[in-house]
Structure 1
Amino acid sequence: MYIGVEEVAGFLGDDPALAMWLGELQRAGGPRDEVDVPVADTGLTHLLRLGVPAQDAAEIVAGLSELQRNPALSWLVRRCAQRTVADMGGFRPGGSWPALPDAWGRYFYVYVFLAVLPHVRAYHQQRGIPDDISWATLAALGSAVESHRQRLGTGGMDAPFWIDLHFRGGIYLLGRLGFNRGDLGFLAPAVQAAGLPAHESDPALGVHAAPTGPLDPVACDASFALATEFFARHFPEETYRLARCGSWILDEQLTEYLPADSNIIRFQRRFHLTPETHDGDADILSRIFQASPDTDLATLPRRTTLQRAVIDHLRAGRHWNIGFGWLEL
């Protein structure tokens, strides 16, 4: 069924952010025929393979029938999916991902990534990426759904812009750590100061500690070794000699609370840290407690040394940072 952009605009209502998003999707161009709206027949199987919890998977599949019946919603899913498919293999964030009304938007971005799924799987196969790495990487979607329910008690999906990078072929989970293709960016002067040739556009792997348990040093060593081999084999046109990281884990204030032989401090010391920092309170509360900055600190658990450190630091009127660092591969 044909539907015009005017009807889609009517469906979205008068929210300025959604109107801007609609314009962005319209300018990106219409979907190619092969970008299909997901269907219930395969949806549940794919969702479970992507690590989506059973409760959420059932709700998502139940919503697929409404998606099929609603031309405006189908238009939006296909356009949003096409935006990612058109940049398959890219590694820069693409477009805006606005918050959407609960009435129809709780799982909207899940439907988008289900529509993208066959395309990113085909891209992985073309690159020769093993199935286990492909599915483990794409299971970030399941983690984002699970995180949303843990934080808010309702169905939804966190950080669609981050999941988009996984579904466009930019990030790969290689054992304990994830690595994204990218460039050195604003860390180039720090590398130059260490006596190495470096430019902002030089390739550099971003390093991410997946929320899957302790940062065991042996497991991290294995991930770095695998990353060197993986990208040389599957992306031979890109030469990575440096890696970069931006994370609450690289906040040097953690050394005030954690022992030198703790996994976090040992991970931090892999990197040459830079003076650059960003505000990190929201990130560390989300990562450690699945909580937001307005959460009453008295309600948070104090079972681990790290949990106690985060709480006591904030209670003292101090703040956490996102730290940045680089290393040679």
Structure 2
Amino acid sequence: MDVKQFCEGIKLDPNAQRIIYEYQMDEWQYQAYKRQFYANRYSFFENVKQSERYRQLFLYLFVRFAVDAYEEYQRRGIDDGIYFDTFHDIQIWCMTCKRDYDEYGIEEYNWLQEHIQLRLFRVGRLQFQPFPFERTLEVEGRTLFNNQLVLNVHIPSGEPLDPRSVEESFERASTFFRGITPIFTCHTWLLYPELNRVLTPDSNILQFQKHFIIYDVDHESRQAEERIFNQLRADYGQYEEHTYLQRSAKAFLQAGNKLGCGYGIKLNPIR
């Protein structure tokens, strides 16, 4: 795997590819960054952020780290499809950086380090992250214990949340993560129960909710506003109305309601 193969494999924007190909860095300097990343990622983050164009530097380094991670993917027998799908997040967040900061780069460095360290994988439509459950909870007669390993679910942007692709993703993840009981947890605005007052019954989001038992709700979270409108405003009237979801969510908020987050669990049947 080389940098060009990688960039093409994750469908990185040509303008972002140009930045990487033209970036000037000695090999000894790259190896020093890499050692610091694996030794102490927080120190690494602060070091990189001292650079004038640190978002471009994060993009360059994470692409090279991901290329280096390919060897470990091969050693574990993980196919190239999952490798490229997982690191396609670099393209997603690079374009988010362009939208928010008007430059190709990476601002979500703390999130993408999970991919680099092989702690998160995209399997089909969804991403999965083995994670210790942080409480003891009884759900439908089954007990989840504090620190029990579960599969935390994340929903990358960019594609419809098609019910069939979601179902296939859960099925593939149950096989991919051998040795982990297929119990899925998810914390997201997509699981907020009040969305049934915002969306039509056939909404993909509401179909996604049906996979989960919602065991807790955070009414104060504003993640939904961030995701729907790509920004937070104190005055709801300033939100855009380009899509049905934006129009419906804006009206819901202006009527004095809140859009929070839900915490959900999906339990596979015991066999």
Other-structure match for 1:243: 184
Paired residue secondary structure (1:259): coil
TM-superposed CA distance for 1:314, in Å, is 3.2
TM-superposed CA distance for 1:146, in Å, is 1.0
Paired residue secondary structure (1:106): helix
- Between structure 1 and structure 2, the one with the greater Rg is 1
TM-score of the two chains, using structure 1 as the length reference: 0.72
Q: Tell whether 2:110 aligns with 1:161.
A: yes
Other-structure match for 1:327: 266
Structure 1 residue runs of 5 or longer lacking an equivalent are 1-41, 85-93, 233-237
The answer to whether the Cα contact below 8 Å between 1:182 and 1:204 also exists between their aligned partners in 2 is yes
Q: Note closer, same or farther for the CA distance 1:123–1:163 as it changes in structure 2 (3 Å cut).
A: same
Q: Note closer, same or farther for the CA distance 1:118–1:304 as it changes in structure 2 (3 Å cut).
A: closer
Paired residue secondary structure (2:215): strand
**What root-mean-square deviation, in Å, do the aligned CA atoms of Structure 1 and Structure 2 show?**
2.7
Q: Distance in 2 between matches of 1:102 and 1:269?
A: 46
TM-superposed CA distance for 1:248, in Å, is 0.7
Q: Tell whether 2:171 aligns with 1:171.
A: no
Q: Aligned letter for 2:145?
A: H
Q: Note closer, same or farther for the CA distance 1:217–1:198 as it changes in structure 2 (3 Å cut).
A: same
TM-superposed CA distance for 1:47, in Å, is 2.9
Query: May I ask how many residue pairs the two structures share in their alignment?
Result: 265
TM-superposed CA distance for 1:257, in Å, is 1.3
Q: Aligned letter for 1:139?
A: H
Other-structure match for 2:158: 212
The answer to whether the Cα contact below 8 Å between 1:284 and 1:320 also exists between their aligned partners in 2 is yes
2:134 maps to which of 165, 185, 198: 185
Deviation string, structure 1 residues 293-314 (Cα, Å, up to 9, x no partner): 1487556442433111222233
Other-structure match for 1:11: none
The answer to whether the Cα contact below 8 Å between 1:243 and 1:326 also exists between their aligned partners in 2 is yes
1:268 maps to which of 180, 203, 209: 209
Other-structure match for 2:21: 61
Other-structure match for 2:101: 152
* Aligned residues with identical type, % of pairs: 22
Q: Distance in 1 between matches of 2:51 and 2:236?
A: 28
Q: Note closer, same or farther for the CA distance 1:325–1:146 as it changes in structure 2 (3 Å cut).
A: same
Q: Aligned letter for 2:102?
A: G
Q: Note closer, same or farther for the CA distance 1:49–1:297 as it changes in structure 2 (3 Å cut).
A: farther
TM-superposed CA distance for 1:196, in Å, is 0.9
Other-structure match for 1:310: 249
Q: Distance in 2 between matches of 1:298 and 1:151?
A: 20
The answer to whether the Cα contact below 8 Å between 2:237 and 2:254 also exists between their aligned partners in 1 is no
TM-score of the two chains, using structure 2 as the length reference: 0.85
Q: Note closer, same or farther for the CA distance 1:299–1:49 as it changes in structure 2 (3 Å cut).
A: farther
Other-structure match for 1:78: 34
Q: Distance in 2 between matches of 1:305 and 1:258?
A: 9
Paired residue secondary structure (1:136): helix
Q: Distance in 1 between matches of 2:32 and 2:232?
A: 32
Structure 2 residue runs of 5 or longer lacking an equivalent are none
TM-superposed CA distance for 1:115, in Å, is 3.5
The answer to whether the Cα contact below 8 Å between 2:185 and 2:264 also exists between their aligned partners in 1 is yes
Q: Aligned letter for 1:68?
A: D
Paired residue secondary structure (2:143): coil
Other-structure match for 1:9: none
